[in-house]
Structure 1
Amino acid sequence: MGPRKIRALYLRLHGEAASASSFKRVLERAGLTERRRRRRPAAKGGRLYSGQRGQAPNEVWTVDFKGWWYSQARERCEPLTVRDEYTRYILELRAVENARAVTVRRVFERLFEHYGLPQRIRSDNGSPFAAVNALLGVSRLSAWWVALGIDWERGRPGHPRDNGAHERLHRDISVEVEGVRGAHRQAALDLWREQFNHERPHAALGMRTPSELYVAARRKYQGTPQTLEYGAMGSRKVNGCGQIHWENECYFLSRSLAGWKVGLQSLGQAVKVWFGRLLLGQIDPSSASFLRADIRPQKTLERHENNQQNVT
């Protein structure tokens, strides 16, 4: 916590306070400050990465695992953290038993029931949020988010600053919470989350606390839909092998989508394939092939156009 935040807390408690520079000098003399590195601006682009930041509560939730550590009792602790990007409000800080998709999904079901549904969720490229070799990196967990009408974003590989504020949150947890013994571990995480949300002011929030700005989402969670509807589009159900059948041909999409319906949008000779609002790619009937949206899309488009010209 820096001098401006400490001053804001002092001001709340006592009604008056010295300048932030005075607090800074005291911290420097006590050896409690460190120089921050200047950050380079993040590059643009990337698959499923918009670069847009949340401008209101519940526009963007960010999620990650803090990274495990061993307590003094040699018990492994791997906290799952979920936060609202705009307000910095920590929605969940929980030491889960494992990082499996089914475990994380249970956590999100409770969050959705309590806070409603966000517009977007941003994660890194790790499991269970993403499946690196799958179509668009969609995992079973992120496929569920998309089926709920939530736009899923992946941070770009090798760009941890895409979720930089979330990484800073993890740094604070490392400094202030690690080392708590197992019996009191979750209680310590709960207390830290309560203090962070309700007591710590943030400069980016005008020295207000996250709880002063955060409100639950208007869109309520009504359970997992039985199927996805695509209006006037055709649709096909993805089988257990991750395939769909269309016009007497079989096309492999992704096992992560098994059991879900995808939409088929005919545009001339091409057929675009959608999963919810997510464009997966397109079917090229002339070559009976599926052109993935995440593999060199410009080259894919050029190849498809060339095929169309050859056919005509």
Structure 2
Amino acid sequence: MGWKETCAVDERMRFVLAIEAGDEPVAAVCRRFGVSRKSGYKWLERYRSEGLAGLADRSRAPRHHACAVSAEAIERCLSVRRAHPTWGPLKVRAFLVRQAPALVWPAASTIGALFDREGLTVKRRLRRRVPPGAPFGACASANDTWCMDFKGWFVTGDGTRCEPWTLQDAHSRYLLRCQALPRTDGAHVWPVLEAAFREFGLPLRLRSDNGAPFASGGAGGLSRLSIKIMIKIIKAGVTPERIRPGKPQQNGRLERLHLTLLQDTASPPAGTLRDQLERFRAFRRTYNEERPHQALADATPAEHFAASPRRRVGVLREPEYPAADAVRRVRSNGEIKWGGRLVYVNEALAGEPVGLFEDEDGRVEVIFGPVLLGVITPGDDRLKRPKRCGLVDDAARRPQSPQPPQSQQ
């Protein structure tokens, strides 16, 4: 004989029918069914008021949630996300807190779950762990280091090539310039860079990669193309800084900016170059003044940036060298005369003064401003390039050149 199956509703129905029959007291029926008299009367009352439906289980979920998110808060979270599809829950919440600090906003995890439910989350591929890049050593305040680079070209909807160039303050992440240039050479970069110098003042250092038009394989990483812009940067009183070849993480803050720029303005690109330029202008406004940045404690770059007190008014001065240095002016063929011999330095530096410092071992360091061009060893008439592209840090033991004046007249 098989086991008989039963359910709670059937047992409650049998209990109610036994009570309604009137053959036993209610207490006795409760004992026989193994329930308390309080529960027995509860089910009896539900049956008499609702019928068979009253014997079914009811939801125990609370009717009102003390921490429920209001419909207005949900709509505002969704509207910010739709306006800025690349902003995550942390950034959206920080933005809303800044807009309305008096309101109680849901946690970032709740906002993230809301985005998931509304289909506004794009799952990203897991990335392998990437070792951290080089730290920004002395980048402790605004205008210590500016970073510049080309983002990489793409084509707008009408087939026009667009090559955006960006300039960013490394400390505050303030986007100083975001413009599309006709060509990637110094002749087109310098006017935009000089305009930024005039508007925001001079930084202490200007960081770039080792590609054109910022560097090359010549002495000190300078060629005819790169010297046209680098010589002006040095004469303006700014120290050029270059990352090592194949190490984009050393300029990681600007590289991360380029990813955001691509996602917000060129996925997909605009129909025309004019429309694309308008997107760049709107992006720069939003990035500097509205978009919270986690590395800045959810503040905006505009709150951490201020113009440099070192003003640029248009005068380019030749670099000055310590008194211990010998100074030679590069000849038209790129050579200098040292120790009775002609040594080739760089034809691109023709007419420019270079400093020479001889140490106790007879090694002569040749520099142009803050850039170490190379070393002349005893008995050799060739300039040997430094291993690290000739940054001024390689000559840290040398007496320091005087700093440029606060305001160039």
TM class by smaller structure: 0.7 to 0.9
Answer 1 or 2: higher relative contact order, Cα 8 Å, separation at least 6.
Answer: 1
* Inter-partner Cα distance in structure 1 for 2:388 and 2:168: 31
Would the alpha carbon gap of residues 271 and 220 (structure 1) be closer, same or farther in structure 2, given more than 3 Å must change? same
One-letter code aligned to 1:161: Q
Please say if residues 87 and 214 of structure 1, whose CA atoms lie closer than 8 Å, have aligned partners that are also in contact.
yes
Instruction: Give the deviation of 1:27 after TM superposition.
Output: 2.6
Instruction: Give the deviation of 1:57 after TM superposition.
Output: 0.4
Instruction: Give the deviation of 1:203 after TM superposition.
Output: 0.8
**Larger Cα Rg: Structure 1 or Structure 2?**
2
One-letter code aligned to 2:372: L
Please say if residues 53 and 86 of structure 1, whose CA atoms lie closer than 8 Å, have aligned partners that are also in contact.
no
Work out the percentage of aligned pairs sharing the same amino acid.
34
The aligned counterpart of 2:169 is: 84
SS in 2 for 1:292: coil
* Inter-partner Cα distance in structure 2 for 1:222 and 1:255: 29
Would the alpha carbon gap of residues 220 and 81 (structure 1) be closer, same or farther in structure 2, given more than 3 Å must change? same
One-letter code aligned to 1:108: L
* Inter-partner Cα distance in structure 2 for 1:68 and 1:259: 35
Confirm whether residue 93 of structure 1 aligns to residue 149 of structure 2.
no
Would the alpha carbon gap of residues 114 and 108 (structure 1) be closer, same or farther in structure 2, given more than 3 Å must change? same
Please say if residues 133 and 250 of structure 2, whose CA atoms lie closer than 8 Å, have aligned partners that are also in contact.
no
1:217-270 deviation per Cα after TM superposition (whole angstroms, max 9, x unaligned): 111224343422224222111233322122331111223433321012233433
1:121 to 203, 206, 217: 206
1:126-149 deviation per Cα after TM superposition (whole angstroms, max 9, x unaligned): 110111x11232331223323333
Please say if residues 135 and 294 of structure 1, whose CA atoms lie closer than 8 Å, have aligned partners that are also in contact.
no
The aligned counterpart of 2:153 is: 68
Alignment coverage as a number of residue pairs: 291
Please say if residues 164 and 181 of structure 2, whose CA atoms lie closer than 8 Å, have aligned partners that are also in contact.
yes
Please say if residues 149 and 276 of structure 1, whose CA atoms lie closer than 8 Å, have aligned partners that are also in contact.
no
The aligned counterpart of 1:216 is: 307
Instruction: Give the deviation of 1:90 after TM superposition.
Output: 0.1
The aligned counterpart of 1:240 is: 332
1:77-127 deviation per Cα after TM superposition (whole angstroms, max 9, x unaligned): 111100001111000000112111111011111011111111111111211
Would the alpha carbon gap of residues 39 and 84 (structure 1) be closer, same or farther in structure 2, given more than 3 Å must change? farther
2:368 to 269, 275, 278: 275
The aligned counterpart of 2:96 is: 10
* Inter-partner Cα distance in structure 2 for 1:28 and 1:159: 36
* Inter-partner Cα distance in structure 2 for 1:262 and 1:224: 20
Please say if residues 228 and 260 of structure 1, whose CA atoms lie closer than 8 Å, have aligned partners that are also in contact.
no
Deviates more, 1:65-74 or 1:178-187: 178-187
Confirm whether residue 258 of structure 1 aligns to residue 344 of structure 2.
no
1:37 to 121, 127, 139: 127
SS in 1 for 2:383: strand
Instruction: Give the deviation of 1:295 after TM superposition.
Output: 7.5
Would the alpha carbon gap of residues 259 and 231 (structure 1) be closer, same or farther in structure 2, given more than 3 Å must change? same
SS in 2 for 1:250: strand
Instruction: Give the deviation of 1:188 after TM superposition.
Output: 1.8
1:36-73 deviation per Cα after TM superposition (whole angstroms, max 9, x unaligned): 635422476xxxxx753622101111111111111111
2:258 to 164, 170, 192: 170
TM normalised by structure 2 equals 0.66
* Inter-partner Cα distance in structure 2 for 1:103 and 1:219: 24
1:136-173 deviation per Cα after TM superposition (whole angstroms, max 9, x unaligned): 32331223323333222222222221222211211112
Deviates more, 1:67-76 or 1:164-173: 164-173
